[in-house]
Every structure is written in C-alpha cells, then in structure tokens.
Amino acid sequence: MSGRREEILDAALDLADERGLAAVSMRAVADRVGVTPMALYPHVGSKAALLDGMVGRLLGGMAAELAGTEGDWTVRLSAYGRQARELAKRHPWSVNLLLTRPAVTPDAVRFVDAIYTALLEAGVPARLVPRLERLVSTFVLGFLASEANGRFAPGTLDPRGRRGQLPEGALPGHAAVARWLDLPSDLDAEFEADQADLRQLVERIAADAGASAGPDSRTLPE
C-alpha cells in the first residue's frame, strides 16, 4: 500500500509544482500514475486527504531541515522563518493549504516545539510561550500567503493609478509617503527586517518578565 500511496503523492506534488494546485484533479493525478481515477481511493481516501498528504510531505522535508538548525535562539528563530519561506517559494501552492488546512501531524508539532524551545531560551515566561509562538507563526504564514498571492505586488495598493476615483486629498497617508512608494520593494530584506523586529519584541517581553517576576512565575494567565 505504501508504495502506491507514495507514487500518488509524488504525482500530485509534481503536478502542483508544475501547474499549480488547480491542476491537481484526481483524473490528472491518476493519469500521471498510470491508473484510472477511482484507483486512487484505496490509497488516499479522498481529494481532501490527498491535499493533507501533500502538506504532510512538505512538512516532513522541513522537519528534517529543522533538526539540523543550530545556534542561539535568535539564529534558530530566524532560520525557522527562512526555512518556511524557502519552502513557500519552492512550492507556492502550499501556502494557502497551510493556512486553510491546519496540519496536525507529528512534523507540524515538532516545528511548534522548536519555536517554543527558542522562546523559552530567550527568557519568555512559559505562560506566554504559546501565545508568542502563535503570534510569530501567524506573522510568518501571513507573510508567505501575502507574498504568494500578490498582496505585496508593486502597485497593488498604489493609488496613483486611480486618481479619478478618489478625490484629491483623500489619501493623506499615501501623500506623505509617496516617494517611498516608488522604490522597488525587496521582500527578502523586508522579511528579515520584520523578523528582526519580532525578535526584539520577544526580547522586550523576556526582559519585562525578568524585571517583574522571573521566567516562570505563578501569576495568573494573561
């Protein structure tokens, strides 16, 4: 059973990488494997399960990478974000799946655990670690999705092309930052700068906790 299932997931992943997720129909996957469509079902129970299997494959690859990540917590936390982003760039179709189909595999749990460990090492009190992990991962997933889906594309929110639709003076903020909107955005640098800002946020929270009560105080949850 496992041989055919792997073959099916391989085919689906290849199709998604070549032509995007919309190209991954059961018929297309079956064609690629060399069987008829209904033959997929004993191995992957449904289309939804196929998609979950595809995500599981990616997370498995990432978990292997993650296990080799060394350094202090800032280095590791930064590397985890970069690894997620590299994966999203190699497989743009995966981002929406990661956001819309929460993965509850052992590999996903390992990833969360790695972030927990880094935050604890940073001095974040244990009671704040789950929230901060969620904040950090939420930002990363949001960034990857925005990048993949074009929300950050140049000119997406540039209003100069729609001056006929909004009255003069309707966008004071844009007017004030106008000359910075012209610059090509470097999303690599931006992602790193954002990660650095979030790490500083983590440091500040750890420092506050150190100043008030120590790293694992028994105060009430926030």
Partner DNA sequence: GCTCATGGCTCTACACTGTAGATCTATACG
Partner DNA sequence: CGTATAGATCTACAGTGTAGAGCCATGAGC
Q: Helices 47-67 and 73-90: crossing angle, nearest 10°? A: 140
Q: Which residue has the tokens 């006929």?
A: 164
Contact segment (CB under 7 A) with DNA among 43-51, 65-73, 83-91, 155-163 equals 43-51
26 binds DNA (CB under 7 A): yes
Letter string b/e over residues 204-222, b meaning 16 or more CB atoms within 10 A of that residue's CB: ebbeebeeeeeeeeeeeee
Give the nearest distance from C-beta 88 to a copy of itself in angstroms.
13
Nearest to 103 by CA among 93, 91, 115, 95: 95
Site for DNA (CB under 7 A): which residue of 14, 19, 20, 48? 48
- SS3 state at 168: coil
Give the nearest distance from C-beta 47 to a copy of itself in angstroms.
13
21 binds DNA (CB under 7 A): no
- Contact set with a copy of itself (CB under 8 A): 96, 99-102, 104, 106, 108-110, 112-117, 119-120, 126-127, 129-131, 134-135, 138-139, 141-143, 145-146, 149-153, 156-157, 159, 162, 165-166, 170-174, 176-177, 179-181, 183, 185, 189-190, 193-194, 197-198, 200-201, 204-205, 221-222
Quote the DSSP letter at residue 219.
P
Pairwise CA distance, residues 134 & 129, whole Å: 9
Binding partner at 21 among DNA, a copy of itself, none, C-beta below 5 to 8 Å by kind: none
